Amino acid sequence: MSVKEENKNPAETAVKEKKQIAAKLIPIYIMGKRYEVPEGLTIMKAMEYAGYVLIRGCGCRGGTCGACGTVYRKPGDYKLQVALACQKTVEPDMYIAQIPFFPANRARYDFAGLTAAPEEVFKLYPEMFRCVACNSCTKACPQGIEVMDAISALKQGNIAEAARLSFDCIQCGLCTSRCFGELAQYHMFQLARRIYGARIVPRAEHLAEMVGTINEGRYDRFLDELKHVKEDELKKLYQEREAEPMTAGEDWKPKDTRYL
């Protein structure tokens, strides 16, 4: 049926669509209870369709906050699988349980007193040497991080490499849930990235310059002006602002240079 034909009789079209949706219901099991949900939904939406109200284990809904770790198993498959509920779509007869929080060891430290010496990381997380190199963590990672390699880098004292490899970690804890050595990889990686950012990577001179300029009050007047602008005008200013093009070179400058 063409779009034109469909529009001729919206009521009939709506009934047809409803029937189509009903025809696409598939069975899934949430916490052991059977539900029928439309296929194509993510696990998160299927749970909500089934009546669950998610107040934990649900954040960004876009695969970036790491709040929705989920474990599932498919019929006839011995393998326990993990996924993000907001990203993985439901499959017929899958058994699902959410793990909104995974208890994992997080070392306590005073970051101001830490150096970039690997021994300090070893002391805080000695369990990293329990790693048996099984690679289960890498297979579980929804971000495609080479988790085992990052742990190996840490064990070798290469904090920069661990920070680089784990850059996309969203702290979902799925690697930890599958770890034979009971490591909390994501807390170790977070420490590695903190040390890398604060102690290893060279200071950005242009950033220091800009902070100096801000502290000297270069923008105080402009900010004061903005604070007194009405909301509608503020929205208009924001929408009409000249944004830096995606492919701008290093020497790009806006046409209005008053705020530089």
Chain residues binding ligand SF4 by CB under 6 A are 66, 131-137, 140-141, 143, 145, 147-148, 151, 169-175, 178-181, 183, 185-186
93 and 85 Cβ atoms separated by less than 8 Å? no
60 in contact with ligand FES (CB under 6 A): yes
Which listed range, 53-61, 107-115, 145-153, 219-227, lies at the site for ligand FES (CB under 6 A)?
53-61
64 in contact with ligand FES (CB under 6 A): yes
Nearest residue to 194 (alpha-carbon basis) of 238, 147, 162, 233: 162
Residue 131 interacting partner from ligand SF4, ligand FES, none (CB closer than 5 to 8 Å by kind): ligand SF4
Question: Cα–Cα distances in Å, from 118 out to 14, 162, 183, 197?
Answer: 64, 11, 17, 15
Cα 196 from Cα 210, distance rounded (Å): 22
Which listed range, 21-29, 64-72, 117-125, 238-246, lies at the site for ligand FES (CB under 6 A)?
64-72
Q: How far is the CB of 41 from ligand FES (least distance, A)?
A: 14
Cα 248 from Cα 94, distance rounded (Å): 47
Half-sphere exposure of 173 (CA within 13 A, CB side): 16
One residue of 38, 48, 49, 61 binding ligand FES per CB under 6 A: 61
One residue of 59, 100, 118, 157 binding ligand FES per CB under 6 A: 59
Cα 45 from Cα 131, distance rounded (Å): 36
